[in-house]
Amino acid sequence: MFVQEEKIFAGKVLKIHICTMDGTEWLEEVTEDTTVEKLKEKCLKHYVHGSLEDPKTLTHHKLIHAATERVLTDTKTVADENLKDKDVLLLIKKRPPPTPPKMAEVSSDEKKKQDNKAPDKDAILKATANLSTRHTDRTVTQHNIRDFQTELRKILVSLIEVAQKLLALNPDAVELFKKANAMLDEDEEDRVDETALQQLTEMGFPESRAIKALRLNHMSVTQAMEWLIEHVDDPSVDTPLPGQDSSGAAGATAAAAPGPSASASASSSTDESSRQDELTEIFKRIRRKREFRPDSRAVIALMEMGFDEKEVIDALRVNNNQQDAACEWLLGDRKPSPEDLDKGIDTNSPLFQAILENPVVQLGLTNPKTLLAFEDMLENPLNSTQWMNDPETGPVMLQISRIFQTLNRT
């Protein structure tokens, strides 16, 4: 029997698990003396389902060892890179380097920047000093163009205060608090998709780091994988997210909660006022569990434009993690300010009075789950759809929306 010489000296055959950024997975069989470049060529032939006539195709991709998070060198062999059977590799397209501008273009751009330089405040005041002042009713204009999402935050801030007071007046206030707190803890536990987490951990990523990536990227495995790769050298990559470890806060709130005997013995107005203050403080602690989490991709993109990290986070918080809106906010007058987010609606306004007079809203405000929903939407606007579809909180949100739309048209 004739055996090819290359088969005799080929070495051990390894099965390598290949993953791409769009979720495609397959196995490649290679020998230990195969170079990384040859392995990458085999992967690209399998992935692109065609010829590799363009020589740039190979150079524009790289292979990453998922377990160690290192980029493999093209000239080294599989044995040199210490690859083992059933190892997981990621096939990723490289980011193209920016084209350096020509000297003539640089000079031209600098001249344009000088010509188009915006005037400073003093120059504007000097140029407009002789203009006549026109008084316009900006309040009416803003009222006509306001939208539900912008006004909803103010409504929620004021309704939370009302709900807290109603729950504090309930004789079973302590039990209601425990129920709301339990729902909050349960909700936090359900926040991580177990299937998505398993996919990332099977690729070799640490579980705690994978959980953080999934929470930052709305449980998207592909985006979480990209985040993990981009932040592999980030010293703060393993720092827990704000509010992720809520055991301490839960213990503190439980310690602060008045016991049943104290609640039963509170008969005087002073005791009632004290209990109400305690419950208000308890619900503040519940709210601290849900701190704002900026979109990591948007943060990086806006910081690359030259904005400070704190300014970027403020912009994303004001604009519900919407990158384009945050960019306009940073380039504009920056209103509303982050401090304005904690301001409620005018309690004497027709809109707020109509909301409070609605029977469905009145009943909903006595439900601790409604308070939980308001707190969650306040800090995580992307979760609004979840609460709109909830059988207990959905009718309340629907009534608030209808009342707003009716009054806004008139």
Mean pLDDT for the stretch of residues 218-224: 76
Domain holding 217: CATH number?
A: 1.10.8.10
Mean pLDDT for the stretch of residues 92-99: 77
Predicted pLDDT of residue 249? 36
Residues 50 and 81 in one domain: yes
Residue 38: strand, helix, or coil: helix
Of 308, 337, 366, the last residue of a domain is 337
Quick one: 72 exposed, middle or buried, by C-beta within 10 A (0-12, 13-18, 19+)?
buried
Residues 78 and 48 in one domain: yes
Domain holding 304: CATH number?
A: 1.10.8
Q: Does residue 388 lie in a domain region?
A: yes
Q: How confident is the model at residue 358 (pLDDT cuts 50, 70, 90)?
A: very high
Q: How far is CA 163 from the centre of its chain?
A: 27
Q: Does residue 272 lie in a domain region?
A: no
Q: Does residue 110 lie in a domain region?
A: no
Residues 353 and 333 in one domain: no
Other beta carbons less than 10 A from residue 302's beta carbon: 23
Residues 333 and 404 in one domain: no
Helix, strand and coil in the chain, % to nearest 5: 55, 5, 35
Mean pLDDT for the stretch of residues 282-309: 74
Mean pLDDT for the stretch of residues 313-319: 83
Cα separation, 185 vs 146, in Å, equals 35
Q: Which domain holds residue 325?
A: 296-337
Half-sphere exposure of 122 (CA within 13 A, CB side): 0
Do you find a cis peptide bond into 336, omega within 30 degrees of 0? yes
Residues 19 and 82 in one domain: yes
Cα separation, 15 vs 93, in Å, equals 22
Which of residues 297 and 308 earns the better pLDDT score? Answer: 308
Q: Does residue 72 lie in a domain region?
A: yes
Other beta carbons less than 10 A from residue 382's beta carbon: 13
Which of residues 353 and 57 earns the better pLDDT score? Answer: 353
Predicted pLDDT of residue 248? 37
Q: Does residue 126 lie in a domain region?
A: no
Residues 382 and 314 in one domain: no
Residues 377 and 394 in one domain: yes
Query: Which residues, at least 6 apart from 152, have a Cβ–Cβ distance to it below 8 Å?
Result: 377, 400, 404
Q: What is the pLDDT of residues 230-275, one digit of tens each?
A: 888 888 888 876 555 443 333 333 333 444 443 444 345 566 666 5
Domain holding 26: CATH number?
A: 3.10.20.90
pLDDT averaged over every residue in the chain: 75
Predicted pLDDT of residue 313? 87
Which of residues 16 and 335 earns the better pLDDT score? Answer: 16
The fraction of the chain above a pLDDT of 70, given in percent, is: 67
Q: Does residue 263 lie in a domain region?
A: no
Cα separation, 372 vs 178, in Å, equals 12
Q: How many domains does one find in the chain?
A: 4
Cα separation, 398 vs 361, in Å, equals 10
Q: Does residue 349 lie in a domain region?
A: yes
Residues 22 and 64 in one domain: yes
Q: Does residue 43 lie in a domain region?
A: yes
Residues 87 and 24 in one domain: yes
Predicted pLDDT of residue 359? 93
For residue 324, pLDDT beyond 80: yes
Residues 305 and 367 in one domain: no
Least reliable range by pLDDT among 170-174, 203-207, 376-380: 170-174
Query: Pairing relation of β-strands 13-20 and 88-93?
Result: parallel
Q: CA 16, 17, 23: angle at the middle one, nearest 5?
A: 155
Do residues 64 and 90 lie in contact, with contact meaning Cβ atoms separated by under 8 Å? yes
Q: Which residue has the tokens 């213990």?
A: 251
For residue 284, pLDDT beyond 70: no
Long-range contacts, 144-151 (Cβ 8 Å, 24+):
146/408, 148/401, 148/404, 148/405, 148/408, 149/320, 149/381, 151/345, 151/351, 151/404
Least reliable range by pLDDT among 110-114, 154-158, 168-172, 207-211: 110-114
For residue 10, pLDDT beyond 90: no
Q: What is the pLDDT of residues 265-277, one digit of tens each?
A: 434 556 666 655 6
Residues 330 and 390 in one domain: no
Q: What pTM did the predictor assign?
A: 0.40
